[in-house]
Structure 1
């Protein structure tokens, strides 16, 4: 018979502190016997600072400093850690509550343990600076309380989160990245640096034109290169993108071996040309609505002439066609129309693609800079017929991702090479490989129309989009999904958005902001053009179309106040509402020299956990926007990507960087996403600021032929 005395005795036995016990309220947080606080970060850090965010949250709730938190990276394991993907600006939204709750639980258990030892109410004790204190009993460091706290039943201890009024760190610290010292001193380990001892290196001879597959291989000369171990024929998609891998004892030997290969190729589209693709997309545009097509006034009056001038470049835009623009604008216009053409874009992370794999009879181990280690582990287990317990995925630091590292192609190549070589193998992509064999942001063509009232203010709109699906994920073959991803028009102008998908002629994938970067660019450029032609200030028109109490109106007002906005030539404005956050971007530029001078961005992300991290993310989105508006694009000629590296994929240099001012707008909204937020409005505002008076923006890059 179980009596009350028996139950109490059992509880007392369970509560006996165990020497060397660790306090572990959840898989995310633990306090070691020596008092060391460890945060296990379930999501990879691709440069967005998720580790720093985790350290701030844990330090806040455990009443210590950020430097007192040791960070550990979780392996790929969704069963233990939940979703581990770094995509769709979800990291802060998914991690804040569990990290805060786990850390607050640890703090409350430590306080309860101290109170029990002192025989005082827990409410009379406080935690601060890694100690629990009492006005009369003194103070005990966490390390003296860990065993007692670990023996407590968390269900018996009330847990309270630190209220915002008492925050010391969340939203208040501008400390740098938690791992900044390791990064700048070279101790931080990125993908290709994280391989085990004795690993080999592989590089891949890749298809010379889109879709080509290997026909014949003569690897005699390659195998004769000193240091070459083996040559592996890869077959897509099970081994990545396909090609011929040379596995060697060093990168130099692998590259020399690749040069010595004699490979013939077949299939694919050796005559592919991105100009033809663009024409195909434009031909698939549905006709403009009758009101826009039949109205010869306003914006639509000079569409074709201005489009030709815009594509000819800034000098041509200042000519007669450009001068015709203002004369066409008049009070009482009935409709406006514009077509925008957007190019292919490559991801171009600073760290090219790479992965390391070690295949043995019992296990498959992977080390790679990836965006979703948990899902990759599950995929590999299914693909190779293994139990998940036999697959180990270790995410490393990544030198940028922007959607590219969701894909497993480099990992699959490393696995194929390791299996063939019987050793761990690191597959390295060169910069040229990375540029010419990416999964690109799709091209798209947009026809926007608007009906205008007597003041030239839009009262209805249409937006027809023709683009390609993302081949990386079959669900994006559904136009409704593409529309949901891209259509975030925030203004009080009713309208219809339609999406037409054409078959993708090459690999396409997630690129920062995904489809919103294209939809938002066209919509905001169009609205700025309508404002100019109707004699409206760009900011004033947006204010008119936004509710006074909206988040976008507040950030737009904050940006205008900080900027000292007065409108006029060389100014551009744009807004964006997405990922649970709001942003407005204002730009000052010199159209004659194509120089962007200043960018002011006001952002509302709810709680800005790490303010300097927020600013860094916004700055990164602005510089991506600057790069793509000023000239970066991917083109295809004779079946192959023309661009090969930063020497011709023209990303912004340090000297191109404008003055950037990021304003954080206070808000009581829930925590929002950030990593992809700034790119769409920054690109539109920059393009609008660069527009020569009367010559509209008709695509991206501005003033450069697309395709």
Structure 2
């Protein structure tokens, strides 16, 4: 391959390769070098992670990819987070389970390029063939001769890259990828409190702001009496936020500390107007049920039909929304846990009329995201506050703010019907869906797009899926697995109900409906083998999912309605980081357990009822089942994982409760 640029500055070898990431534009003038790896004169290796880490382990995967190709240990690679700059780093968005799929090839090539240049430099210094030299443990060796990487950076940077072939390490020679038991590279920093999240950002001179937010859905500020708030010691300024340009609206109190800002907010006297002060989520759900598409004509008598109702869900990341911004004469700097720093930078530059060169977005670690941190509203609030204060301002959301002013997963209602054969196995199905679009992203205001996002029915049962959309009455946004979490939950719960009615084993039923040579059949068999026979006194739920280029089967076993064990077999193609795969599946299982067991958002009198984990019933540690994850490798291309486990885990857990499933949560009123 050809290397587009090489530089030697300050004793550092910088390797950059031109890479067209999946989904990026293909026009040559739209590409710019992606700088991923550098080696300094002391042999220290630094890798740049172009995508942010919100818990999915991007930084760890980058470290492993670089360490593999540079023949060092993962602890020998220091990982830096890239700031927002799509011209340099390509797509920086984290979503749709794309991170590993997009990064593994360019990062490996960048690291392999560095290795090949270093080996070639050593070979030339010694006057021996390159083929006789090898990289190992931060050195290049030829017989008993050894040169450390740091001693070679000048020679390597002086080489003509076009004359140095780049060879990737083949998978059969991997030392780390797919084999190491290493955990996250930043695990120690996280558990000891040294890791810096967005909420920890405090540039010199930074002030703090909190926002008094609309008390009911859609309300806007009518009048503000801020005299008492301004009189609170430490309060610097009070400003109304325009929902058209500065987030979701409200009144911000800017102060020198968090307690002072909160006391100032309590002292505000604000009146509100507009919105929907009588809105009720039960009525929204009833309205969706009336909007269900008509059942199509079936090829035979319909043997069974069922309706499933799914509620609003909040993202509820452990780190509430936050952002820090400094709008100065020289430009704008933002520190925030974003899922797309490059797009955020471009958006801010456009909105403020600045050149992108004058906008810097520092992507911090994020304490969870799940789709919520794609949205810029906390950043817009911070920019507006910095403009007023003339200083850096950190906008902090309380847990109450975060829960009651989210962009929620939409409600949905599903009506399923089936024709069955003499054994009770479905031979035709119909699935009607009524839901809302994601109104933070107008692209989804299209039934065909919603269907394409959600309908991943993997079984060989013909049928028809129809989607009806109604306008969302509040903010709706991406939530882990997006619409697949709706569709697959209803479809797998319905299939389990069919199997139960016919007295069929749930694993055998799905085997009959999957091609014998399919990846999904293989993971189902692996999960069933690991799970073994249904324990005495247990109820078993089973579900499968095919999405993001990966496949997974989940088996849940419960006793007295409580899930005790979950077995998941997953095939993501070549496994890069085994413990990372397990962690992602475990996280999906816990989200599934929480939403099936009781977590939902309800609206009464125009207000979101839930305000914290006290009443948004996320699963506690004593409710956690044993989770056994089986890794099934294949030669398929590397697939996505972050959102894969949630849909089948939710369906399997719901069916394992042993109670009739009419929606989510199970056994309580929905909506």
> Does TM-score exceed 0.5, indicating one fold?
yes
Partner of 2:25: none
2:257 counterpart of 1:250: yes
2:221 counterpart of 1:214: yes
Per the alignment, residue 685 of structure 1 pairs with: 652
CA contact (8 A) 1:462 1:497 kept: yes
1:610 equivalent in alignment to 2:577: yes
Q: Is 1:481–2:445 an aligned residue pair?
A: no
Q: What is the CA distance between 1:698 and its match in structure 2?
A: 1.0
Partner of 1:49: 57
Pairing partner for 2:380 from 400, 412, 424: 412
Q: Which residue of 2 aligns with 1:270?
A: 277
Contact 1:291-1:335 at 8 Å conserved across structures = no
Correspondent of 2:598 among 616, 631, 639: 631
Aligned partners of 1:627, 1:555: CA distance in 2, in Å? 25
**1:136-173 Cα deviation digits (max 9, x unpaired):** x5111111111101111111101110011110000001
Q: Output aligned runs, 1:326-405, within 5 Å.
A: 334-405=302-373
Contact 1:446/1:464 (<8 A) preserved: yes
Pick one of 198, 203, 212 that aligns with 1:205.
212
CA distance in 2, matches of 1:16, 1:491: 53
* Pairwise CA distance, 1:265: 0.1
2:663 corresponding residue in structure 1? 699
Q: Cα deviation per residue 1:485-521 (whole Å; 9 max; x = unaligned)?
A: 1000000001111110001000000000000000000
Q: Say if 2:479 is the partner of 1:511.
A: yes
Tell me which residue corresponds to 1:584. 553
- Structure with greater helix share of residues: 1
Specify whether residues 263 and 558 from structure 1 end up closer, same or farther in structure 2 by C-alpha distance, changes over 3 A only.
Answer: same
Equivalent of 2:411, from 428, 440, 443?
443
Contact conserved, 1:240 with 1:409, CA < 8 A, in 2? yes
1:328-378 residue CA offsets vs partner (Å, 9 max, x unmatched) = xxxxxx522111000000000000000000011220110000100000000
For 1:183, the equivalent position in structure 2 comes to 190
Aligned partners of 2:93 and 2:340 also within 8 Å: yes
Instruction: Indicate which of 592, 598, 616 corresponds to 1:649.
Output: 616
In structure 1, the residue matched to 2:11 is 20
Counterpart of 1:298?
none
Change in Cα spacing, 1:134 to 1:258, as seen in structure 2 (3 Å) is same
1:528 to 471, 496, 499: 496
Equivalent-residue separation in structure 1 for 2:316 and 2:171 (angstroms):
39
Cα deviation for residue 454 of structure 1 reads: 1.3
SS at match of 2:665: coil
**Contact 1:17–1:148 at 8 Å: present in 2 too?**
no
Task: Evaluate the alpha carbon distance shift between residue 686 and residue 413 of structure 1 in structure 2; reply closer, same or farther with a 3 A threshold.
Answer: same
Q: 521-530 vs 192-201, which deviates more?
A: 192-201
Matching residue within 162, 170, 173 for 2:177: 170
Task: Classify the secondary structure of the residue corresponding to 1:549.
Answer: coil
Residue from 114, 136, 142 that aligns with 1:134? 142
The secondary structure found in structure 2 opposite 1:28 is strand
Aligned-partner Cα distance in 2 for 1:703–1:682 = 17
Confirm whether residue 120 of structure 1 aligns to residue 128 of structure 2: yes
Other structure's SS at 2:381 match: helix
Q: Deviation per CA, 1:637-694: give whole Å up to 9, x if none.
A: 00000000000000000000011100100111111000000000000000000023xx
Cα distance change, pair 225–549 in 1 and its aligned pair in 2 (3 A): same
For residues 449 and 293 of structure 2, what CA distance do their matches in structure 1 show?
19
Contact map agreement 2:201 2:394 (CA 8 A) in 1: no
Alpha-carbon separation, structure 1, partners of 2:13 and 2:564: 54
Is 2:541 the partner of 1:572? yes
Which one of the candidate residues 661, 669, 674 is aligned to 2:628?
661
Query: C-alpha separation between the residues in 2 aligned to 1:689 and 1:72?
Result: 44
* Residue of structure 2 equivalent to 1:432: 400
Could you say if the C-alpha distance between residues 691 and 251 of structure 1 is closer, same or farther in structure 2, counting changes exceeding 3 Å? same
Match of 2:75 among 67, 72, 89: 67
In 2, Cα distance between equivalents of 1:540 and 1:344:
33
Tell me the equivalent position of 2:641: 674
State the partner residue of 1:458.
426
Match of 2:84 in 1: 76
- 1:237 maps to which residue? 244
* 2:153 aligned partner: 146
Structure of greater Rg = 1
Question: Partners in 2 of 1:490 and 1:290 — Cα distance?
Answer: 22
- Aligned-residue offset at 1:450: 1.1
Distance change in 2, residues 1:17/1:274 (3 Å):
closer
CA distance in 1 between partners of 2:7 and 2:591 (Å)? 57
Distance apart, 1:569 and its partner CA? 5.3
Secondary structure at the counterpart of residue 522 of structure 1: helix
- Shift, 1:18, TM fit: 8.3
Q: Is the 8 A contact 2:534 2:557 kept in 1?
A: no
Cα contact 2:7–2:157 (8 A) shared by 1: no
Question: CA separation in 2, counterparts of 1:84 and 1:587?
Answer: 36
Provide the rounded CA distance (Å) in 1 between the counterparts of 2:85 and 2:171: 32
Q: Tell me the CA shift for residue 20 of structure 1.
A: 2.2
User: Runs of 4+ in structure 1 displaced over 3 angstroms?
Assistant: 14-19, 289-292, 565-569
Alpha-carbon distance in 1 for matches of 2:367, 2:327: 25
Separation in structure 2 between the aligned mates of residue 388 and residue 537 of structure 1, nearest angstrom: 59
Which range moved further: 565-574 or 26-35?
565-574
Question: Does the Cα contact within 8 Å between 1:210 and 1:506 map onto a contact in 2?
Answer: yes
Q: Distance in 2 between matches of 1:392 and 1:288?
A: 52
Please name the residue that 1:91 is paired with: 99
| Structure 2 residue aligned with 1:314 | none
**Normalising by the residue count of structure 1, what TM-score does the alignment of the two structures yield?**
0.90
For residue 502 of structure 1, what is the aligned residue in structure 2? 470
Alignment equivalent of 2:42, drawn from 17, 34, 40:
34
Q: CA deviation at 1:607?
A: 1.3
Q: CA RMSD in A?
A: 1.5
- The 3 A distance-change label for structure 1 pair 661 and 252 is same
Aligned partner of 2:29 in structure 1 is none
Measure, in 1, the Cα distance between the counterparts of 2:597 and 2:79: 39
2:587 to 598, 617, 620: 620
Whole-Å separation in 2 of the counterparts to 1:631 and 1:20: 58
**Cα deviation 1:217-273 (Å, max 9, x = unaligned):** 000000000110000100103100000000000000000000000000000000000
User: Hey, what's the Cα distance between the residues in 2 that align with 1:557 and 1:16?
Assistant: 52
1:103 and 2:103 equivalent?
Answer: no
Aligned length: 649
Q: Which residue of 2 aligns with 1:305?
A: none
Counterpart CA distance in 1 for 2:399 and 2:16 is 44
Q: Distance in 1 between the 2:37 and 2:6 partners?
A: 21
